[in-house]
Amino acid sequence: MTADGLPMTVPAQDLPARVRIHEVGARDGLQNEKTTVPTEVKAEFVGRLAEAGLTTIEATSFVHPKWVPQLADAEQLFPMVSHLPVALPVLVPNERGLDRALALGARRVAVFASATESFAKANLNRTVDEALAMFEPVIRRAKADRVHVRGYLSMCFGDPWEGPVPVHQVVRVCTALRDLGCDELSLGDTIGVATPGHVLTLLSALNEAGVPTNVIGVHFHDTYGQALANTLAALQHGVTTVDASAGGLGGCPYARSATGNLATEDLVWMLHGLGIETGVDLGRLTATSVWMAERLGRPSPSRTVRALSHKDQ
């Protein structure tokens, strides 16, 4: 470590020069907190993340408020952050969600599919194909309005009800999302069971099915401590979009074994150590996660946040 609390930079071969971090703490993180964070605190959180240099900050979800009460204030929150000079994607499961997001001027939306029937039912009250049919008009209308569409795919590696998920099952739903018009895909390891070989196998299978690497992002949860190893494998394959959550907040309310996402600080520590640009100020980001942890009343699970915030003690 350098004297100013940054990792030493030692580049490795065959890695991208720059990575875009898709920050999901305000959405994936806060949707899973037992306590509902006040709207003003969420707005300040998003503002601080932007000040720390994050350029894509998933702000909230326009889902049914009974399904995710923690994000029921989407209508109040979005106008409080929409002036920020960053991309602010929001989750929309259906046309009702899209109407709500468009009415507030959202320019980036994300639909969220599942590779497994069990999770499609638990998360969307639909079969996999019914959910795709629900997304079809959402994506069509968003594209007609030149709104950017991300397609999440959950349970790409394992499912708490169904066990390991066959690669061909994931490829089928990914190609369906692409055919519907998604600009970008995010491969979700919702319960954090992936390992690097599995990640590389899935990425290669997607390429063979005609899905180029430059439209693929990775979304790892860190349940088994594999998120960084999986990320490095994805980077070696050419992926340059990585989802992460400030302070390691997160999980999914409809998958009980899901824990926090890969912590953005842990990701930035590794990327900067490799000499990969992110535009993120690690000190500012860590201070934000320490501030948020105080509001949530529990320490951040991020190893980097803990190490950096205790280094003077």
- Contact pattern for ligand HMG over residues 20 through 59, marking x by CB under 6 A: --------x--x----------------------------
Query: Do the Cβ atoms of 100 and 82 come closer than 8 Å?
Result: no
Residue (230 or 309) nearer to Mg ion, CB: 230
Q: 158-159 and 148-154: which strand pairing?
A: unpaired
The region of 40-48, 60-68, 157-165, 289-297 touching ligand HMG under the rule CB under 6 A is: 60-68
Q: With respect to ligand HMG, which residue has the nearer C-beta, 135 or 308? A: 135
- Interface with Mg ion (CB under 5 A): 28
16: tokens are 């991208």
**DSSP assignments along 194-260, one per residue:** --HHHHHHHHHHHHHTT--GGGEEEEEB-TTS-HHHHHHHHHHHT--EEEEBGGG----TT-TT--P
- Phi and psi at residue 151, to the nearest 5°: -115, 110
Exposure b/e, 219-256, CB count within 10 A at least 16 = b: bbbbbeebbbbbbbbbbbbebbbbbbbbbbbbbbbbbe
Which is nearer to Mg ion, 263 or 308 (by Cβ)? 263
Q: Which does 182 bind (CB under 5 to 8 A by kind): ligand HMG, Mg ion, none?
A: none
Min CB(109)–ligand HMG separation in Å:
11
Residue 306 CB, shortest distance to ligand HMG, in Å, is 23
Nearest to 62 by CA among 108, 19, 8: 108
Interacting partner of 96 out of Mg ion, ligand HMG, none (Cβ under 5 to 8 A depending on kind): ligand HMG
Rounded-to-integer distance, Cα 131 and Cα 50, Å: 32
If contact means CB under 5 to 8 A according to the sort of partner, which of ligand HMG, Mg ion, none does residue 284 touch? Answer: none
Of 252-271, which residues contact ligand HMG (CB under 6 A)?
Answer: 252, 254
According to the binding rule CB under 6 A, does residue 185 interact with ligand HMG?
A: no
| Of residues 72, 84, 92, the one with CA closest to residue 45 | 84
Among all residues, which ones are annotated catalytic?
A: 252
Contacting ligand HMG within 221-250 (CB under 6 A): 221
Give whichever of 110 and 270 is closer to ligand HMG, judged by the CB atom. Answer: 110
Give min distance, CB of 195 to ligand HMG, in A: 17
How many chain residues touch ligand HMG (CB under 6 A)? 26
d(CA 170, CA 152): 11
Tell me how far apart the alpha carbons of residues 52 and 288 are, in angstroms, rounded to a whole number.
Answer: 8
The residues in 108-137 that bind ligand HMG, with binding defined as CB under 6 A, are 112, 123-125
Q: Which is nearer to ligand HMG, 252 or 282 (CB)?
A: 252
User: Measured from the CB atom, is 16 or 253 closer to Mg ion?
Assistant: 253
Q: What is the largest CA-CA distance in the chain?
A: 55
- To Mg ion, the closest distance from the beta carbon of 210 in angstroms equals 26
Report which residue type is found at 202.
L
**220 lines the binding site for ligand HMG (CB under 6 A):** no
Tell me how far the alpha carbon of residue 61 is from its chain's centroid: 12
List of residues contacting ligand HMG (CB under 6 A): 28, 31, 61-64, 67-68, 91, 93-94, 96-97, 100, 112, 123-125, 152, 154, 188, 190, 219, 221, 252, 254
